Amino acid sequence: MKLKKTLAFLLSAMMTASLTACGGGQAASSSAAPASSAAPAESSAASVAEPAGAEVEITWWAFPTFGQENADDPVGTYEQKIIDAFQDANPGIKVKLDTIDFTNGPEKIVSAIEGGNAPDVLFDAPGRIIEYGNNGKLVPLDDLFTADFIADVNNDALIEACKGKGTPYMYPISSSPFYMAINKQMWEDAGAMEFVNLEGDRTWSTADWEKAIEKLAAAGMNPGTVFCNGQGGDQGTRAFITNLYGATIANPEMTEYTANSEAGVQALTKMKEWIDKGWLGDGVSNTAANDIELFATGFSSFAFCWGTSTALAQAPNMEAASVTPISLPFPSDDGVPELEYLVNGFCVFDNGDAARADAAKKLIQFICDDPEWGPKDVVRTGAFPVRQSFAEKDLYAGNEEYAVLENFTKYYAPYYNTMDGFANMRTEWWNMLQNVISNGTDPKEALDAYVAASNAGMNAA
Partner 1 sequence: MGKKKITPYAVISMILLVLVALVFIFPFYRIMTGAFNDPTNVWKAELFPSKLTMQNFVRLFKQPAWKWLYNSVFIALVSMILVCGTASLAGYALAKKRFFGQKIVFTLFICAMALPKQVVLVPLVRIMSTFGIYDNVWAVILPTVGWPFGVFLMKQFSETIPTEMLEAARIDGAGELRTFWSVVFPVVKPGVGALAIFTFINTWNDYFLQLVMLTSTENLTIALGIARLQSADVIEYGPLIAGAALAAIPIVTIFICFQKYFTQGITMGAVKG
Partner 2 sequence: MGQSNPAAAPQKSLSHVLQRRETTVAYLFLLPALLFFAAFVIVPMIMGVVTSLFNYTMKSPVSAESFVGLGNYIELFKDKVFLRSMWNTVVIVVVSVPAVTFFSLWVGSAIYQKTGWIRSFFRGVFYLPVVTGSVTVVVVWKWMFDFQRGIFNWALKSSGLIEKNINWLGDQKVAIWCILLILFTTSVGQPIVLYVAALGNVDQSQVEAAQVDGATKLQTFWQIKWPAIKPTTLYVLVITTINSFQCFALIQLLTSGGPSNSTSTVMYYLYRNAFSLYRYGYANAMGVILAIIIAIFSALQFKTMNTGVEY
Residues near partner 2, by CB under 8 A: 14, 17-19, 21-22, 27-28, 30-32, 106-107, 110-111, 113-114, 132, 134-137, 222, 228-230, 278, 281-286, 294, 299-300, 423-424, 427, 430-431, 434-435, 437-439, 461
Q: Pick what 115 binds: partner 1, partner 2, none; C-beta below 5 to 8 Å, kind-dependent.
A: partner 1
Find the shortest distance in angstroms from Cβ 272 to partner 2.
14
User: Out of partner 2, partner 1, none, which partner does residue 99 contact, by CB within 5 to 8 A per kind?
Assistant: partner 1
- Residue 76 CB, shortest distance to partner 2, in Å, is 23
Q: How far is the CB of 445 from partner 1 (least distance, A)?
A: 31
Residues 6+ apart with CB under 8 A from 270: 210, 244, 245
Q: How far apart are CA 125 and CA 210, in angstroms?
A: 33
CA distance linking residue 117 with residue 47, whole number of Å: 8
Task: Please name every residue paired with 345 in a beta bridge, in sequence order, or none if there are none.
Answer: 124, 172
Q: Which does 228 bind (CB under 5 to 8 A by kind): partner 1, partner 2, none?
A: partner 2
Choice between 24 and 92, CB closer to partner 2:
24
282 binds, among partner 1, partner 2, none (CB under 5 to 8 A by kind): partner 2
Dist CA 424 CA 267 (whole Å): 22
Amino acid at 253: E
Q: Of 159 and 461, which CB lies nearer to partner 2 in the complex structure?
A: 461
DSSP state of 232: S
**Amino acid code (one letter) for 350:** D
| Cβ proximity to partner 2, 170 vs 404, nearer residue | 170
Cβ 296 to partner 2, closest distance in Å?
13
- Number of C-beta neighbours around residue 95 at 10 A: 24
- Chain residues in the site for partner 1 (CB under 8 A): 4, 7-8, 10-16, 18-19, 29, 32, 35-36, 38-40, 42-44, 46-47, 64, 72, 74, 98-104, 108, 111-112, 114-117, 230, 232, 287, 289-290, 292-293, 313-314, 317, 320
Residue 112 binds which of partner 1, partner 2, none (CB < 5-8 A, kind-dependent): partner 1
Q: Which is nearer to partner 1, 91 or 136 (CB)?
A: 136
**252 interface partner picked from partner 1, partner 2, none, CB below 5 to 8 A per type:** none
What one-character-per-residue DSSP string does 157-215 give? HHHHHTEETTEE--EEEEEEE-EEEEEHHHHHHHT-GGG---STT---BHHHHHHHHHH
Pairwise CA distance, residues 384 & 386, whole Å: 6
Sheet holding 179-183, edge to edge: 302-306, 179-183, 325-328
**C-alpha span between 426 and 429 (Å, rounded):** 5
